[in-house]
Structure 1
Amino acid sequence: MTKTHTRADLCDTVYENVGLSRQECGELIESVLEKIAQHLEEGEQVKLSSFGTFQIREKNERIGRNPKTGEQVAITPRRVLTFRASHVLKDRVDDGHKGGHKGSHKNGGQAE
C-alpha cells in the first residue's frame, strides 16, 4: 500500500537533516510552498531543477457532453495547473521501478 506524504513528513525530514527546530522547519516548508503558490497564481512557471516544472495552462471555453444524458454542455474557460517532471526525476522513477538503486541516474546526475 502506498503512503501519502504530508507537510509534516517534509518538516520531519528537514528537521532530521538540517538541525532547525521543528517550528522553524514548519515555517520553512510553509514559506516555500506559499512562494510556489504565489508565482503560480500570477501565471508564472516554477522550475525546480532536477525535479520538474509547474505551470498554468489557459483552457478555452468548449462544448462537452454529459456522459449520462448525451446532452451538450458549455465548459467554461479556466486555468489548470500542470506538472512536467524533469528527465532526472523520470530516470529516478524508472530506475526505482526496475529495482535500481536510490539516487542512480542514467545521465550522471545532471539536471535537465
Structure 2
Amino acid sequence: MALTKHDIVDQIQNQLGIPRNVSADVTETLLEIIKATLASGEDVLVSGFGKFCVKDKQERKGRNPATGEDMMLKPRQVVTFKCSGLLRNKVNGK
C-alpha cells in the first residue's frame, strides 16, 4: 500500500502534536515549494533522502498504441529522482 498525502498529514499531526489543519498546511506548502522549484527548472536536493532533477527529453520516434501508426513525440521535460546513499542503505536494511 502506498503512503498518501493524507497519511503524511496524519503522521505529522501525531508526531508533532499539532492541529490537523496546521499539519495539512505544512504538507501543502512543502509540496507547492517543491513543485514550483521543479517547474522553474531547478533541482530539489533533500539531504539524506535524495535529489529530484528536471531532465530534457529530445524529440523521438514513437508509435500510437491504438493504431500502430508511427509518429514523432515532441521534446519534453521529465522529473527524475535519485535516492541518497543513506536512503538506499535504509531500504536495503543496512
Matching residue of 2:8? 10
Distance in 1 (CA, whole Å) between partners of 2:69 and 2:24 is 48
Taking only the aligned residue pairs, the percentage that are identical comes to 37
Q: Secondary structure at the match of 1:74?
A: strand
Q: Secondary structure at the match of 1:4?
A: coil
Matched AA of 2:89: D
- Residues 1-112 of structure 1: pairs in structure 2 closer than 5 A: 3-66=1-64, 71-95=69-93, 105=94
Bigger relative CO (Cα 8 Å, ≥ 6 apart): 2
C-alpha RMSD over aligned residues: 1.6
Q: Secondary structure at the match of 1:38?
A: helix
Instruction: List runs of 5+ in structure 1 lacking aligned partners.
Output: 96-104, 106-112
Structure 2 length-normalised TM: 0.90
Question: Deviations 1:42-61 (Å, cap 9, x if unpaired)?
Answer: 00000111111001101111
Quote the offset at 1:70 in angstroms: 5.9
Q: How many residues are treated as equivalent by the alignment?
A: 94
Between structures 1 and 2, the one with greater strand share: 2
